[in-house]
A and B are shown apart, each in its own frame.
Chain A
Amino acid sequence: MTVRRAVLSPLILFAAVIGQLVVVNRLPLPGVGLPDVVLLVVAALGVTAGPATGLLAGFAGGLAIDVAPPGGHLAGEYALVYCLIGYACGRIRDLLQGSNAERPATTSLLVMMVGVAAGEAGKAALGLMLSDPDMTGPAIRHVLPAAVLYDLLLCPFVLWLVPVVVGARTAERAPQPQFPQSLRLAPAFRLASAGAAPKLRLAGSTLPPVPPPVRAEPKLRLAGGRSSLSSRTNGAFSSAPGSALSGRPTPRLNLASAGRGNQLGGASALRAPQGAGFQGKSPGKGWLRPPKQAGTTARPGRSPRKGWIVAGRPAPANWQAKAPGKGWVRSPRPPSPGTWRRRSPGKGWIVAGGPVSPANWQPRSPGKGWARSPKPPAAPRRKSPGRGWLRPAAPGALAAPTFRPGSPGKGWLRPVGSGALAAPTWRPSSPGRGWLRPVKPVPPPRRKTPGRGWLRPARPPRQNWYTKGPSTRWLRRGRRRRLLLGGRR
């Protein structure tokens, strides 16, 4: 993106300069003023791409207008004004909202409008100060209002066009959902998870190669069926239903919209288990358990669920988002093969933390919370534990948008922070790999061979916004090398 921006920003600026001189200045527009396209582009670049870009674009564009043939004013005049405007637009925009935050178009537009008006005024003021013969008081009084008006009218269009061309469009990301109530559910979820082990399936991300037993009676579903789950999760998790999220295929298991790898707590920490004792153990353990513990305490022979349960204490704030429990645990019916396949539960899980800010992620390791849960799980373990307790009170409730508080699963499966997911750096650190990696280490399908299903995705989830990050490809291949390398996509 930076490369694209570096190439296209000068191009669009150049186009604006030429267009201004060759076309706009010659248009017999009604009224007495002319729009200043260069100023508009500079302000838009500042707003969308930051103060540095705005500064450079302003200076370059202004200087070009200054020295390009028709001229008419001193060299450096517009360069001075434009670079100040470009810088100020970016700076104010960043101050109003941190550079990492979502950038609503309205704020950008307002900042840009103010900047453009200030730029027009600045040009006139500088011309007056330099006693430019063309810029007399009466002329400015005539021209300035009309010019500002034209600029303001063009602002929305330019603000739309520039990010599209330059590729700096940031305003479209779905807002990060907030789950204030979900915290309440955490205890219940913990309880549920404690008993859930045997039938528990991590996500049906993949259609297990050995389908029959596994599919036949998955008691617990980590992830909802592709279609059903998505609808559910959408309703529950996306705070803005109409947001950009809805249009895209929803990745089931990618709970984690984790932002960058480092956010997740550092790739190294997550991966550590692999190196040490992880292989022999059931995958579940490695997962949930905090990295260090996994190395030392994990017992290979154990049923996967244990590992799960063992994991650290739940993170208070974001916990729900990750907590897989509801969505999967509850689902009454066995996952249909089709739906099963898509989600790679392993990923989802590990990734799930994603939305959670990196800092918080580790401490919470959800697994622990589970294991620790004060009371023993009420549900019987062996018996499709998922159902009884995991099941939503009312089936309708799951689908309902308001479901959110109770459905930790959703948070899990669905990328919470879409923005975070999108971050380019995200992938390498995704903890999922290290953890999930061992295909072999998975114990033979004793119980329900939970390991297989999730470790081996029939096919990698479609590459979309969320799923792109943690590609499942490596799961299939099961190459240790790639895992260790922290392979790229």
Chain B
Amino acid sequence: MHEARRIRPVLIALLVVAIALITLDFRDSGASPVHTLGADVFGPIERVAGDAASPFIGFFHAANGNDSAEITALQKQNDQLRAQLAQEQVSKADQAQLAQLLGRSASGYRLVAASVIAAGGEYSDTVTIGVGSRNGIAPDETVLNGDGLVGVVTSVTSGTATVQLATDVSSTVGVRMADTGQIGAVSGTGQTMAGTDDLRLTLFSATATLHAGEAIVTFGSVGGRPYVPGVPVGQVISVTSEPGALTQSALVQPYADFTGLGVVGVVVPRPPAKAKAKART
């Protein structure tokens, strides 16, 4: 009992510290320096451990095991992605228009391959990837994989980057319908880990119509940040029309498998030097 008495002050002190941390972090809306510190400390460890554990994880995902296999798979994905990207382009005219509008061409980007090294808990839709500012990664860059859009980089350390998945409840991606060109927004339902990967699509136009099976691609943002245009997102699986709603909304099934992320690519601006060079992985 006296032991309990002795540690009670410690308990109280730790509780106070925890509450203080929460308060500070709440004020900074989750961006307090503690997180930076934690990322600096745990980032490298996670990279090592994540690399070591990737074969294990890969076994579960029937994914690739070692680095060379990873790279070749990634290159393959890259090619596939480019092809898909092209296919998904609405039209050459639109493409040109877009490129003009954004002042960039689609080839003005390159992909930096990265493997997922850690993931958030059951309630959060974030992952950590094994590349950082050292590899040219910066916040607000698009992350995708061979299937489609994955998310966006939210914070970066020298060796790691944290990616907010498109399924996160606070994520909103501007999209358009590949067929009709209607624009809208896709947001997460926050239930990725709860078993449903579905996203919710809301069209901006009141007159647009939606059909199940329609493909959705990203609309793109100014400067390619946070989202580059033309990345496939998913397809409509069901249209939910709510009485009284001004616009139509639908559930979208993403192409990417968010629970089985292995290798992803981060879209970084190509260095101004030469845009034609083959994208390095």
Interface residues of A (CB under 8 A from B): 17-23, 25-28, 31-34, 36, 50-52, 55-56, 59, 62-77, 79-80, 83-84, 87, 91, 94, 99, 123-124, 127, 130, 132-136, 138-140, 142-143, 147
Contact = CB atoms under 8 A, between A and B. Distances in A.
Interface in B108-137: 116-128
A69 B118 contact: yes
A70 B124 contact: yes
Contacts of B146: none
Contacts of A134: 123-125, 168-170, 190
Q: How large is the interface on B (under 10, 10 to 19, 20 to 34, 35 or more residues)?
A: 35 or more
21 contacts: A26-B118, A32-B195, A62-B18, A66-B38, A67-B35, A69-B46, A70-B119, A71-B38, A71-B124, A71-B126, A73-B121, A75-B21, A76-B17, A77-B22, A80-B18, A83-B11, A133-B168, A139-B193, A139-B194, A143-B194, A147-B122
B190 A67 contact: no
The 6 tightest CB contacts between A and B, nearest first, are: A67-B38, A72-B124, A76-B21, A142-B194, A25-B119, A80-B18
Contact of B49 (A18, A77, A94, A136): A18
A324 B160 CA distance: 70
Nearest to B157: A69
Contacts of B260: 28
B26 A74 contact: yes
B193 A143 contact: yes
A18 B119 CA distance: 10
B214 interface: no
A50 B10 CA distance: 14
Highest count of chain B CB atoms <10 Å: which of A21, A68, A70:
A70
A41 B7 CA distance: 20
Contacts of A63: 18, 21
A75 B35 contact: yes
B211 interface: no
B118 to A, nearest CB: 4
Contacts of A140: 123
B15 A23 contact: no
B39 A67 contact: yes
Contacts, number: 202
B124 A68 contact: no
Contacts of A36: 121-122
Given A69-B39, A130-B22, A21 B119 contact: yes
Given A73-B124, A83-B15, A142-B191, 6 more contacts: A36-B122, A56-B14, A70-B162, A75-B22, A77-B18, A134-B190
A80 B15 contact: yes
A21 B118 contact: yes
A56 B195 CA distance: 34
Contacts of B160: 69
Contacts of A62: 18
A74 B30 contact: yes
Interface stretch (B55-63, B67-75, B87-95): B55-63
A79 B21 contact: yes
B4 interface: yes
B53 A64 contact: no
Contacts of B42: 17-18, 21, 64, 67-69
A59 B14 contact: yes
Highest count of chain B CB atoms <10 Å: which of A25, A69, A83:
A69
B119 A76 contact: no
Contacts of A75: 21-22, 24-25, 32, 34-35, 38
B232 interface: no
Contacts of B118: 21-22, 25-26, 68-70
A79 B38 CA distance: 14
A19 B48 CA distance: 12
Given A71-B35, A72-B123, A75-B38, A22 B18 contact: no
A25 B121 contact: yes
B49 A70 contact: no
Contacts of B122: 25, 32-34, 36, 143, 147
B167 to A, nearest CB: 10
Contacts of A132: 123
A66 B43 CA distance: 13
Contacts of B7: 51-52, 55, 87
A142 B259 CA distance: 16
Nearest to A120: B122
A47 to B, nearest CB: 15
A108 B71 CA distance: 48
Contact of A34 (B49, B121, B125, B128): B121
Contacts of B194: 32, 138-139, 142-143
Contacts of A87: 7, 11
Nearest to A36: B121
A76 B170 contact: no
B195 A142 contact: yes
B279 interface: no
